[in-house]
Copies of this chain bind each other. A is one copy, B any other.
Amino acid sequence: MYLKYLLVLVYYVALIASDHEVAETYKQRRDVLLGRERGMRLGSDVILDPYEEIVNKQLMKNKKEEMAGYVSGAETFPPGHSFTEVKEDIEKSKVYKFIRKMPKGGLLHLHDFALTSVEWLVLYATYLPHCYLCQHQDHHYHRFVFSASKPINNKECVWSLVADERRNFTDGTKAFDDMLIKSILFGNSKIVSSRGNTSQIWQYFEEYFFSVTGLLLYNPVFPLYVYEGLKELWQDNIQHFEIRASLQQTYSLSGRHSSPRTVLQQYLQGIRRFQELHCHLCRVQLIICLHRSLPAAVIKRKLYEAAHLQRMYPGLVAGFDLVGHEDGGRSLLSFMPELKGSRLPFFFHAGETNWQGTATDENLIDAVLLKAKRIGHGYAILKHPAILEEAQMNQIPIEVCPISNQILGLLDDLRNHPASSLIASNFPIVVSSDDPATWNSTGLSHDLYVIFMAVAGVHDDLRLLKKLAQNSIRFSSLSIFEKEKLQDDWISKWRIFIENEAKSLCINNTQLEMDF
């Protein structure tokens, strides 16, 4: 009789023990899998020192607090909405403020005509003498030009001096300038009205460039435009700049246009002034780019010219790219006759599309086969497992520009950005801002914020941000020697930043000090 009870007891004990064992094994297996995935993430190989650990702890506390409201749905998640609608919300974030202060290394994908804030252009350039404005009542678009005499009116344009328009504006000078700024910026209404139709969006987008070129390409403006742009980016704590430069001709009051070499000289004027006044260790490089709509003969000639300019200014000219709406233009493959002879390093825009199997989508194949040093956007890369493998193996980084992709209609909610998968599998990426001035952003902080909060996961921490800064140096076009100098400079800036952050935290927070 007792034996029966004893047997039942032994059975239950064995059952509980086996259950416990199962649970243990499950937890272990889960941890292994989870650990394997965590170890595959971009930044997982970064080791933080004790100061960085303190700073990271606070950063993640802020991130988690902010995310809690978003994940629960209690608060609107800014990267889920168009940047033009949520810019101010982002700027209130503690995480954003931290990122803004962080030394970021390089900004490697940035277009020449969206370098400097529209506000500066309006407040400086339109105040110069001889600045004419064209207003078209129907389309509300603006063109500017500096001219010794009044340009001739036509159906499209009625020209007047900006100074006269400003004086006669009923609501006053500030309202006039604000109106000008608003009319130039690529605003939300244009994005909403053409949702998902990238051809339509690109038409509006190119309007921005038509508006600003008349202002910034004026000889007395251009070097200052370059200087001011670099200064604004430097204020966002960026140390190195690679600018996609179209080398469009600058012009004088009499309408005489400069040669590409003169434009390079004007770049150098702006760069030197910036280096002297703000950052003598900062470096600037140009990636000469041509619009993909240009005729083949022009492309061939300009490529030859670009190669010549690179030989003349080897430290300044880094390589070559083709720009413009990729879906609307010629494919890289179709440029093969022009490209194949060139020895210029390539930095191609490729796969900036959400179509699959089209010529634009296949540009990714040619970018890799043409041994591009980096790929601009590469938005379609997840649809190309073989290219993904090739690019990872050969460490061809993707220049990820999340806000640009959103504004130019590829996706709405940035949580769906393909870079989330690239971050999860330690793919070499650099974060860039493409055309920040166009949508009233500056530098890299907004893009890094959306990467950190929406494209990366809730557990990604300071190690990801540090890795992205390191990548931006590693994948820059500088010579090895210059790269080392940039790295040293960045490391010293990073140390100061981290120590200051840690100290201010320790002063404000004894708990953190004790932990340390």
Contacts and interface: CB of A to CB of B under 8 A. Distances in A.
B421 A460 contact: no
Interface in A7-37: 19, 22-23, 26, 29-30, 33-34, 36-37
Contacts of A36: 386
Contacts of A315: none
**Which residue of A327, A368, A383 has the most chain B CB atoms within 10 A of its CB atom?**
A383
A421 B382 contact: yes
Interface stretch (A49-57, A195-203, A299-307, A475-483): A195-203
Interface string A321-343: 00000011000010010001100
A383 B23 contact: no
Given A413-B412, A457-B361, A424 B369 contact: no
A355 interface: yes
A382 B419 CA distance: 10
Interface in A153-172: none
A87 interface: no
A37 B386 contact: yes
Interface in A253-285: none
Contact of A411 (B199, B411, B456): B411
Interface string A474-495: 0000000000000000000000
A62 interface: no
A365 B458 contact: no
Chain A contact patch, size range: 35 or more
A362 B31 CA distance: 11
Interface in A412-466: 412-413, 415-416, 418, 420-421, 424-425, 456-460
A73 interface: yes
Contact of A385 (B40, B71, B387, B460): B40
Contact of A33 (B387, B416, B421): B387
A420 B356 contact: yes
Contacts of A459: 357
A384 interface: yes
A85 B503 CA distance: 55
A77 interface: yes
B365 A196 contact: no
Nearest to A409: B413
Contacts of A33: 365, 368-369, 386-387, 390
A157 to B, nearest CB: 27
Given A30-B365, A424-B382, A357 B457 contact: yes
**Assembly of this chain: how many copies?**
2
Contacts of A328: 73
A358 interface: yes
A458 B358 contact: yes
A457 B383 contact: yes
A183 interface: no
Given A30-B369, A199-B73, A383-B424, A356 B22 contact: no
A80 interface: yes
Interface string A98-137: 0000000000000000000000000000000000000000
Given A23-B340, A369-B29, A355 B71 contact: yes
A401 to B, nearest CB: 16
A71 B353 CA distance: 10
5 contacts: A37-B387, A76-B197, A357-B458, A410-B416, A411-B413
Given A411-B413, A416-B416, A416-B418, 16 more contacts: A22-B340, A26-B369, A30-B333, A30-B369, A33-B386, A33-B387, A40-B385, A73-B328, A77-B197, A81-B196, A196-B413, A354-B413, A356-B415, A356-B424, A356-B457, A412-B413
Interface of A: 19, 22-23, 26, 29-30, 33-34, 36-37, 40, 71-73, 76-77, 80-81, 195-200, 327-328, 333, 336, 340-341, 354-358, 361-362, 365-366, 368-369, 382-387, 390, 410-413, 415-416, 418, 420-421, 424-425, 456-460
